[in-house]
């Protein structure tokens, strides 16, 4: 919505203590939720598609053949974050996914769809932001310098005004992951 300059009213929700008003509009407790034409829509992909249809400028659609680029990074990050055994291979699986993404951005970047940011970047950006904060905090880990295209990609996305205005606070990201890490 920031990238398309669509006005909105953002309300933060404590997902560990969901208020009643929120559960009335999102009974499953999912975020984000956007109201389109008097109907609440709780799915990021559906929200993105609806925004693209209602507000075609600037275009942010990702070509189907590029939509899955980087899509395994988040799940491999979670596997490594939750891992209690440093030798179980979860770090290497994440590094492999990041390396694949690094090679892709090197050849096709600076964004997933080339020169212009797309919905795929706007979806991946917050996941990389959570990865950076959570792994830095809980595992003292960061993206290796050898993955310079991943690092510059993250800097490009994180420095966008739209991202800066909507990103979670570091302490909130840490608090959100703590129960999943600590058990």
133-170 confidence digits (pLDDT tens)? 999 999 999 999 999 999 999 999 999 999 999 999 99
How much is the pTM? 0.93
Q: Of 54, 79, 98, at which residue does a domain stop?
A: 54
Q: Examine the domain organization and report whether 87 and 118 are in the same domain.
A: yes
Q: Examine the domain organization and report whether 107 and 38 are in the same domain.
A: no
Q: Of 13, 28, 54, at which residue does a domain stop?
A: 54
Average pLDDT, integer, range 66-90: 97
Q: Which two tokens stand for residue 14?
A: 């404590």
Confidence of residue 6 (pLDDT cuts 50, 70, 90): very high
pLDDT(43) > 90: no
Does residue 130 sit within a domain?
yes
Does residue 86 sit within a domain?
yes
- Rounded to whole angstroms, the Cα distance separating 19 from 14 reads 8
The pLDDT assigned to 179 comes to: 92
- Rounded to whole angstroms, the Cα distance separating 12 from 18 reads 10
Does residue 59 sit within a domain?
no
Q: Examine the domain organization and report whether 68 and 150 are in the same domain.
A: yes
Q: Examine the domain organization and report whether 116 and 45 are in the same domain.
A: no
Q: How many domains does the chain have?
A: 2
The pLDDT assigned to 16 comes to: 84
Q: Examine the domain organization and report whether 50 and 83 are in the same domain.
A: no
Q: Examine the domain organization and report whether 165 and 106 are in the same domain.
A: yes
Helix (H) or strand (E) holding 40: strand 39-41
Q: Examine the domain organization and report whether 30 and 96 are in the same domain.
A: no
Instruction: Tell me the three state secondary structure of residue 156.
Output: helix
* Integer angstrom CA distances of residue 87 from 46, 61, 90, 94, 173: 39, 40, 8, 13, 26
Average pLDDT, integer, range 22-40: 93
Q: Examine the domain organization and report whether 170 and 121 are in the same domain.
A: yes
The pLDDT assigned to 14 comes to: 85
* Integer angstrom CA distances of residue 126 from 24, 39, 71, 102, 107: 26, 25, 12, 17, 23
Residue the block writes with tokens 């020169």: 115
Does residue 117 sit within a domain?
yes
Residue-number span of the structural domain to which 37 is assigned: 2-54
Q: Examine the domain organization and report whether 89 and 159 are in the same domain.
A: yes
pLDDT(60) > 80: yes
């Amino acid at each position: 919505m920031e990238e398309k300059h669509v006005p909105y009213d953002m309300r933060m929700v404590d997902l560990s203590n969901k208020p009643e008003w929120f559960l009335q509009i999102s009974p499953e407790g999912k975020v984000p939720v956007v109201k389109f034409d008097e109907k609440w829509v709780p799915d990021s992909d559906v929200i993105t598609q609806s925004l693209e249809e209602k507000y075609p400028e600037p275009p942010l659609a990702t070509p189907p053949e590029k939509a899955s680029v980087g899509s395994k990074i988040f799940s491999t990050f979670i596997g490594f974050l939750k891992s209690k055994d440093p030798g179980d291979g979860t770090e290497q699986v994440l590094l492999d996914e990041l390396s694949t993404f690094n090679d892709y951005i090197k050849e096709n970047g600076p964004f997933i769809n080339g020169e212009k940011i797309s919905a795929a970047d706007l979806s991946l950006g917050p996941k990389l932001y959570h990865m950076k904060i959570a792994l830095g905090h809980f595992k003292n880990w960061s993206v290796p310098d050898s993955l310079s295209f991943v690092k510059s990609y993250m800097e490009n996305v994180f420095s966008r005004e739209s991202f800066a205005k909507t990103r979670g606070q570091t302490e909130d990201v840490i608090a959100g992951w703590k129960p999943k890490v600590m058990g």
